[in-house]
């Protein structure tokens, strides 16, 4: 298994360019299934999760090819199977997003239930309730969602909780449904807006993406898309925190800073010096940040996906900070490992109380999920001495060339096989 070795304390200077968004790419890849045609997705990061989605599309009969410019071509005209097997869904929950497109185009789908996950139970009830409202008959049998319909019909669907995956699932399904679907209490995340752009390129009429009320006029037939995925705001946020720890200064390029407003505001409150332009964020290190209170929330609130990274910074704050995790019930797996690096953090259910220390010290730690791994990389970069991070396959799911990108701005970080 691969691991990372980091020699901490080196200042980071220069520019890091952000890759395409993993979480925007995944639903847009699933959208390719809606057309009996070829789609081209540009700026797709080369990551384990993207390869898993491509394997799933191939398992369904589609042809997928990556070219050297980071574009994926998906020919969904050859799709002839309608089942997403357990092994692929278990590896990556977003595989569930093929359910809506398969059902809408072929009238049938069998998709494994994803089961639990390291960060929480993560039910899919909102996906299934919405599809049923659109006329699907759904049964849960032998660990699979078995769904069928004649043709999906547009419906008015109000989500009980704003869910990113649920909103994407129903936008995908509604694109080939008969009539108009109105989603209310929809998720507002930028990935929803990117998905809407791709669907519009396929011929769907959509309004309101990025607001709580999205209207989708379903079509009888869709063409393939050519679409460029937006930059990964979570990767950007992760490097911005790296800049707050060690930037001298560090510039994160190719991003829309307004997508990270909640994080940038919190960092400013911590005393971090930040400059933004239309597509960059420049950050200088802040040796002992001021303590803050943070509560994760759906977009545009503070993202659960950058909570762990911010904690690496708050571990060094001058005082006591509090992070409340309100999206996932088990998203503090990095806490125990951060404490092994010398952080002082007390956990009480979904609340972490972080008492800042002047210095972290390197040791061997274990990555447990994607963003927890990013937090450990950040902590290792600032800790005194050597940190070894094991099980970095979690990191490879979501960060393209992370070691190389950090090396290019001066970090002493290398990958090795244990």
Q: Which residues are catalytic?
A: 117
255 or 286: CB nearest ligand EPU = 255
The DSSP element (H or E) to which 293 belongs, if any, is strand 293-295
Q: How far is the CB of 374 from ligand EPU (least distance, A)?
A: 9
Provide the CB-side half-sphere exposure for 286 (13 A, CA).
25
Q: Name the H helices within 138-226.
A: 164-174, 190-202
75 or 191: CB nearest ligand EPU = 191
Q: Please give the residue ranges that form the binding site for ligand EPU (CB under 6 A).
A: 23, 26, 94, 120, 122-127, 161, 163-166, 187, 191, 304-305, 327-328, 370-371, 398
The DSSP element (H or E) to which 336 belongs, if any, is helix 334-340
Give, in degrees to the nearest 5, the angle at Cα 36 between 35 and 42.
Answer: 55
- Whether 375 and 398 have beta carbons less than 8 Å apart is answered as no
- Whether 327 and 298 have beta carbons less than 8 Å apart is answered as yes
259 or 305: CB nearest ligand EPU = 305
A 10 A CB-CB count for 24 gives: 28
Q: How far is the CB of 189 from ligand EPU (least distance, A)?
A: 6
24 or 338: CB nearest ligand EPU = 24
Nearest-angstrom CA–CA distance, 87 and 171: 26
Q: How far is the CB of 410 from ligand EPU (least distance, A)?
A: 26
Q: How far is the CB of 375 from ligand EPU (least distance, A)?
A: 11
Q: How far is the CB of 199 from ligand EPU (least distance, A)?
A: 16
**Residues near 170 by Cβ (< 8 Å), separated by ≥ 6?**
100, 127, 130, 131, 134, 157, 181, 183
Q: Which of 100-123 are b and which e, b meaning 16 or more Cβ less than 10 Å from the residue's Cβ? A: bbbbbbbeebbbbbbeeeebeebe
A 10 A CB-CB count for 14 gives: 12
118 or 201: CB nearest ligand EPU = 118
């Amino acid at each position: 298994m691969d691991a990372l070795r980091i020699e901490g304390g080196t200042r980071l200077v220069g520019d890091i360019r952000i890759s395409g968004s993993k979480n925007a790419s995944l639903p847009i890849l699933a959208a390719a299934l809606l057309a009996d045609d070829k789609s081209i997705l540009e700026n797709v990061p080369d990551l384990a999760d993207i390869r898993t989605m491509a394997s799933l599309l191939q398992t369904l009969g589609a042809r997928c090819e990556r070219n050297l410019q980071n574009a994926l071509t998906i020919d969904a005209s050859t799709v002839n199977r309608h089942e997403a097997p357990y092994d692929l869904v278990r590896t990556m929950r977003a595989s569930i997003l093929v359910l809506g497109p398969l059902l809408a185009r072929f009238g049938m789908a069998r998709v494994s239930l994803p089961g639990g996950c390291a960060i929480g139970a993560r039910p899919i009830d909102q996906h299934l309730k919405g599809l049923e409202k659109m006329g699907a008959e759904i049964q849960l049998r032998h660990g699979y969602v078995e769904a069928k319909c004649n043709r999906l019909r547009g419906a008015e669907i109000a989500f009980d909780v704003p869910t990113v995956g649920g909103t994407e699932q129903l936008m995908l399904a509604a694109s080939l449904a008969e009539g108009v679907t109105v989603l209310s209490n929809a998720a507002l995340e930028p990935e929803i807006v990117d998905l809407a752009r791709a669907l519009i390129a396929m011929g769907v009429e959509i309004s309101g993406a990025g607001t709580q009320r999205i209207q989708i006029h379903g079509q009888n037939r869709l063409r393939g898309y050519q679409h460029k995925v937006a930059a990964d705001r979570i990767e950007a946020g992760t490097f911005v925190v790296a800049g707050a720890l060690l930037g001298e200064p560090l510039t994160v390029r190719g991003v829309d800073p307004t997508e990270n407003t909640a994080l940038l505001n919190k960092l400013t409150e911590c005393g971090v010096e930040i400059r933004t332009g239309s597509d960059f964020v420049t950050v200088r290190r802040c040796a002992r940040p001021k303590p803050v209170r943070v509560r994760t929330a759906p977009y545009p609130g503070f993202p659960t996906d950058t909570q762990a990274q911010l904690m690496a910074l708050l571990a060094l704050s001058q005082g006591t900070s509090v992070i409340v995790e309100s999206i996932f019930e088990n998203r503090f797996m990095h806490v125990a490992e951060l404490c092994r690096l010398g952080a002082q953090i007390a956990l009480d259910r979904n609340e972490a109380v972080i008492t800042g220390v002047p210095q972290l010290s390197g040791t061997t730690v274990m990555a447990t999920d994607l963003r927890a791994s990013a937090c450990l990389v950040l902590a290792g970069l600032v800790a005194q001495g050597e940190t070894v991070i094991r099980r970095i396959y979690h990191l490879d799911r979501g960060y393209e060339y992370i070691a190389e990108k950090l090396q290019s701005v001066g970090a002493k970080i290398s990958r090795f096989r244990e």
